[in-house]
Copies of this chain bind each other. A is one copy, B any other.
């Protein structure tokens, strides 16, 4: 057994709670991370969607930052985020269908197609309100394709 000194790295000093030892807690943390991705993207999409619809003034710098966020978040490697036992029914708060685990290749492909759509959004964001609107179709399509296949309806 190794005894490793980790100065200043405790939950208290980080101000974070991480408890990897228990499977349940690992599943909860993974689900929270998944939901975190969704919250980050919902916020960025809200800004871009508001600009596209003319509810929010188009500002190049803001649009580019929002698009970059979509691009960066959709680049996150998903393989740590979907531990077995973190599906709807097994874990409170999860809306992940069990089909994710039986179709992991398709699930991953759908995630990657979102990343591709955000690349086009990055370009559009630097151009104009109209370009953002045009790019939104592919981003929204990628979101809904995955949600439709792999997320249970909201209760």
Give residues in A with beta carbon < 8 Å to B.
Answer: 1-2, 4-9, 13-21, 26, 29-30, 32-33, 35-47, 49-50, 52-56, 62, 65-66, 68-69, 72-73, 75-77, 79-81, 129-130, 133, 136-137, 139-141, 143-144, 147-148, 151
Question: Could you tell me if B4 and A54 are in contact, using CB atoms closer than 8 angstroms?
Answer: yes
Question: Could you tell me if A43 and B29 are in contact, using CB atoms closer than 8 angstroms?
Answer: yes
Residues of B within 8 A of A4 (CB): 52-54, 129-130, 133
For this chain, the copies found in one complex come to: 2
> Given the interface contacts A15-B151, A36-B36, A43-B81, does A129 sit within 8 Å of B75 by beta carbon?
no
Question: Could you tell me if B143 and A14 are in contact, using CB atoms closer than 8 angstroms?
Answer: yes
Residues of B within 8 A of A46 (CB): 18-20, 26, 29
Quick one: which of B5, B20, B43, B141 contacts A33, CB cutoff 8 A?
A: B43
A15–B147 Cα gap in the complex (Å)? 7
Residues of B within 8 A of A72 (CB): 72-73, 75-76
